[in-house]
């Protein structure tokens, strides 16, 4: 609840400060301190209504939204798209509401992966005790037994979890553009096994236990009266800090600490763990990756750490606006040569889909994803990526892989009508 101060009280303080400035040096110091305090107060914020409780629903229906037949999030009553500014002048509350809705959507997508895509939820690490935190991935039933093809999906960094490309797209556009579901369905229809990674599930948060204050040292050299004055001064300082904190953060959330998930405490660790315990043990003759944004960096780390294995098993890698950097990650010539032959990066660009894009880095071919929006690159390049995989299957032992065919502006326009 916002800490409100009536205007006349502030006016009185200003007058008091003016009087203090006329006095002795000690009074001027007090005036300076009061001026500093008042400078921190946002009068507009103080005059706003109290902030509602940060207590949000646990279901889409509770938020008043549902996904329609086109996979678009719509208001149940009005049919209107999602509105961020639900409460005017309450940006913090609106942001917390958006994040809470995002958590509900994450659970909703998990349900789609299991019920609509028929994937299985696999807990990791498999050797964790009941007391240890765990994460999970999703796999098709034949992910490890399919003798032909296996597709691995890796999203970027941030709040997105397994099965998502971009939360913003799910909320403001639709499920097709924001989730990995179209990739999963097409892969299954074309005989692929599928593994959906979850690289951002790296820890759990638990509420911090309150630490007991340490007993103050009772120095015999210090007079009791002086100690009492010091204690009173500390209490007053803490009281002022608490009041200021209440104003700045009216609904102070619980303090939490993070407990890392063993062998999965970072996206890179997670992808390496899944490679070692699942992908490397799969029967598939041809393994393919789609990695978006930071997922591309995580894939390159696996390639660097497990170079011989990856190069012998992976047929092709489709990156979408990847943020990997072969210089910073210290990729050697053998890795660079392999990337040139087996990878392609669909980057955000104003050029038509599949138009070659120049790069300063000597890693893999770059082509336009047909959009300048970073989060849309995986969706806009969807059809081109599967064509890229088909070409890799046609010549799995070729020394070089072909980059996607360059399209004209007219053919690109027709192709985008489907989106």
φ, ψ dihedrals at 140, nearest 5°: -75, 160
- Catalytic entry in 293, 315, 348, 384: 293
Q: Evaluate whether 392 touches 286 at the Cβ level (below 8 Å).
A: yes
DSSP letter string, 146-169: -SSEEEEEE--SSS--TTBS-HHH
Alpha helix segments (H runs only) across 281-332: 294-305, 307-313
Is 293 a catalytic site residue?
A: yes
Residue indicated by tokens 């007090």: 30
Which CATH entry fits the domain spanning 119-203+261-418: 3.30.300.210, 3.40.640.10, 3.40.50.1820, 3.40.50.300? Answer: 3.40.50.1820
pTM of the model: 0.75
- Return the axis-axis angle of helices 294-305 and 267-277, rounded to nearest 10°: 50
Bond before 306 cis per omega within 30 degrees: no
Which tokens hold the place of 219? 């120095």
For every one of its 419 residues, what pLDDT tens digit does the chain have, with 9 covering 90 and above? 444 444 444 445 555 555 555 556 666 666 676 666 666 555 445 444 567 777 888 999 999 999 999 999 999 999 999 988 877 778 888 899 999 999 999 999 999 999 999 999 999 999 999 889 999 999 999 999 999 999 999 999 999 999 999 999 999 999 999 999 999 999 999 999 999 999 999 999 888 766 555 555 554 566 766 666 666 766 666 665 555 454 445 555 667 789 999 999 999 999 999 999 999 999 999 999 999 999 999 999 999 999 999 999 999 999 999 999 998 899 899 999 999 999 999 999 999 999 999 988 888 999 999 999 999 999 999 999 999 999 999 975 544 444 444 443 333 333 333 33
| CA-CA-CA-CA torsion sign (380, 110, 166, 293) | negative
Q: How many C-beta atoms lie closer than 10 Å to residue 275's C-beta?
A: 24
* Residues 6 or more apart whose Cβ sits within 8 Å of residue 380: 346, 353, 369, 370, 371, 416, 419
Which regions of 280-413 does DSSP assign to beta strands (E)?
286-292, 314-320, 343-347, 366-368
Q: Evaluate whether 275 touches 301 at the Cβ level (below 8 Å).
A: no
Instruction: Delimit the domains of the chain by residue range.
Output: 1-47, 51-116, 119-203+261-418
Q: Evaluate whether 132 touches 203 at the Cβ level (below 8 Å).
A: no
* Residues 6 or more apart whose Cβ sits within 8 Å of residue 214: none
């Amino acid at each position: 609840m916002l800490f409100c101060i009536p205007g006349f009280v502030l006016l009185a303080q200003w007058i008091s400060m003016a009087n203090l400035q006329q006095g002795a040096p000690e009074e001027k110091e007090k005036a300076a301190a009061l001026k500093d305090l008042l400078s921190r107060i946002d009068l507009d914020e103080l005059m706003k209504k109290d902030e509602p409780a940060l207590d949000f629903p646990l279901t889409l229906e509770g938020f008043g939204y549902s996904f329609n037949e086109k996979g678009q999030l719509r208001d149940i009553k009005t049919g209107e798209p999602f509105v961020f500014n639900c409460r005017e002048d309450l940006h913090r509350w609106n942001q917390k509401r958006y994040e809470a809705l995002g958590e509900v959507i994450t659970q909703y997508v998990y349900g789609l992966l299991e019920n609509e895509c028929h994937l299985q939820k696999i807990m990791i690490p498999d050797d964790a005790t009941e007391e240890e935190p765990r994460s999970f991935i999703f796999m098709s039933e034949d992910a490890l037994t399919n003798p032909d093809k296996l597709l691995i999906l890796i999203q970027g960094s941030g709040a997105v979890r397994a099965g998502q490309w971009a939360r913003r797209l799910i909320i403001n556009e639709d499920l097709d553009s924001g989730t990995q579901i179209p990739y999963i369905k097409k892969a299954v229809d074309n005989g692929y096994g599928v593994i959906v990674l979850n690289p951002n599930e790296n820890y759990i948060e638990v509420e911090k236990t309150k630490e007991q204050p340490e007993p103050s040292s009772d120095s015999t050299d210090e007079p009791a009266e002086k100690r009492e004055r010091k204690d009173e001064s500390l209490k007053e300082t803490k009281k002022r800090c608490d009041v200021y904190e209440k104003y700045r953060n009216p609904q102070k959330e619980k303090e939490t600490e993070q407990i890392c998930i063993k062998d999965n405490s970072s996206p890179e660790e997670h992808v390496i763990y899944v490679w070692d315990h699942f992908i490397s043990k799969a029967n598939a003759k041809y393994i393919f990756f789609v990695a978006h944004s930071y997922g591309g960096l995580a894939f390159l780390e696996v390639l660097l750490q497990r170079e011989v294995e990856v190069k012998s098993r992976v047929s092709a890698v489709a990156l979408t606006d990847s943020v990997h950097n072969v210089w910073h990650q210290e990729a050697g010539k053998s890795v660079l040569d392999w990337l040139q032959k087996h990878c392609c990066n669909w980057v955000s660009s104003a050029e038509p889909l599949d138009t070659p894009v120049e790069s300063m880095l000597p890693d893999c071919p770059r082509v336009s994803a047909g959009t300048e929006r970073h989060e849309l690159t995986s969706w806009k390049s969807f059809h081109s990526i599967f064509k890229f995989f088909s070409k890799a299957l046609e010549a799995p032992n070729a020394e070089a892989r072909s980059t996607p065919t360059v399209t004209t502006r007219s053919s690109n326009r027709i192709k985008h009508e489907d989106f």
